[in-house]
């Protein structure tokens, strides 16, 4: 039997317009992918690190730490200067880091200058005993533990995680989730523009929570005197301690259901106010 198919072995394929287009588009993309892979491999092969150790004397009770980017951990320390220590790990090009110190204030600027590879900026701020700290991080997660008295934590873009805090605290985040646990003291104020707010083990006498977009969940371990929660978009879940304590409750949702299951009294000194523009509200024990 003989085949009627034409014999094309050894002949080049004709360059049709579609093949020319694939060649013109595909070749630069392939070269770009190869180059990017090679650059990434070189970047991870050339790892480096260095440390930052800064101190500033305390004038009065104020203590301010300002960071434009990087993860930041804040903790109490002994009497003495305000301290910021950092470990920076990088590939190829060392990040550009500058700082400014003055009485009671340390400001650190960091800049990762390569598009690939590793660039991790981790800082730890130690707040001396008796100081009133104000801590801000422009971009990066913020961790705080063991802070007491009056203090402020602020993050521009990143999560905030604060635990074992007491006194009068103010915690705010523009974009990121906020987690607080083991919170006590006379007052806590939590503000988030975009992100969930979660509180567990809360024993503060007064709590104010404002969230523009995200769910709010708070669980109390002690009866509070005053709770105010406002959410523009997201569900609100509030859990009070079990028992016979009565509460004066005001709760309203413009778009969502409202469920209240705890003892109530119009003359109770324990005030609960919850408003929600879009989302469900649940208040229980």
Domain definitions of the chain by residue range: 44-140
Confidence of residue 60 (pLDDT cuts 50, 70, 90): confident
β-partners of residue 260 are 283
Q: How far is residue 126's CA from residue 82's CA, in Å, rounded to a whole number?
A: 6
Torsion angle of alpha carbons 52, 74, 70, 135, nearest 10°?
-110
- DSSP secondary structure letters along 246-259: -BEEEEEESSS-EE
Among 96, 70, 94, 72, smallest CA distance to 84 is for 72
- pLDDT per residue as tens digits for the range 3-58: 455 545 556 656 676 655 655 665 565 555 554 454 455 444 457 788 899 999 99
Give the model's pLDDT for residue 35.
47
**Lookup result for tokens 């769910």:** 215
Give the model's pLDDT for residue 22.
58
Q: Is residue 117 over pLDDT 70?
A: no
Q: What backbone torsions phi and psi does residue 31 show, to the nearest 5 degrees?
A: -65, -40
Does the model's pTM come out above 0.85?
no
């Amino acid at each position: 039997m003989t085949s009627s198919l034409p014999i094309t072995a050894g002949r080049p394929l004709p360059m049709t317009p579609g093949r020319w287009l694939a060649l013109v588009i595909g070749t630069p993309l392939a070269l770009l992918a190869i180059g990017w892979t090679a650059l990434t491999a070189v970047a991870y092969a050339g790892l480096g690190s260095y440390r930052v150790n800064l101190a500033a004397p305390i004038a009065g009770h104020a203590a301010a730490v300002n960071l434009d980017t990087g993860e930041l951990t804040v903790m109490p320390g002994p009497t003495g200067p305000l301290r910021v220590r950092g470990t920076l790990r990088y590939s190829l090009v060392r990040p550009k880091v500058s700082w400014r110190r003055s009485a009671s204030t340390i400001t650190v600027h960091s800049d990762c200058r390569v598009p690939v590879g590793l660039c991790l900026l981790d800082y730890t701020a130690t707040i001396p005993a008796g100081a009133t700290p104000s801590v801000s991080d422009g971009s990066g997660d913020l961790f705080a533990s063991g802070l007491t008295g009056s203090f402020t934590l602020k993050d521009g873009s990143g999560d905030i995680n604060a635990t074992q805090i007491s006194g009068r605290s103010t915690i705010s985040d523009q974009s990121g989730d906020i987690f607080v646990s083991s919170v006590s003291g006379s007052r806590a104020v939590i503000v988030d523009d975009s992100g969930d707010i979660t509180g567990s083990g809360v024993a503060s006498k007064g709590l104010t929570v404002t969230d523009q977009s995200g769910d709010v969940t708070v669980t109390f371990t002690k009866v509070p005197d005053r709770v105010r929660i406002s959410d523009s978009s997201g569900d609100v879940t509030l859990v009070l301690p079990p028992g016979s304590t009565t509460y004066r409750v005001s709760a309203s949702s413009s778009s969502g259901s409202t469920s209240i299951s705890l003892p109530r009294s119009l003359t109770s000194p324990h005030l609960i106010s919850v408003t929600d523009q879009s989302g469900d509200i649940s208040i229980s024990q």
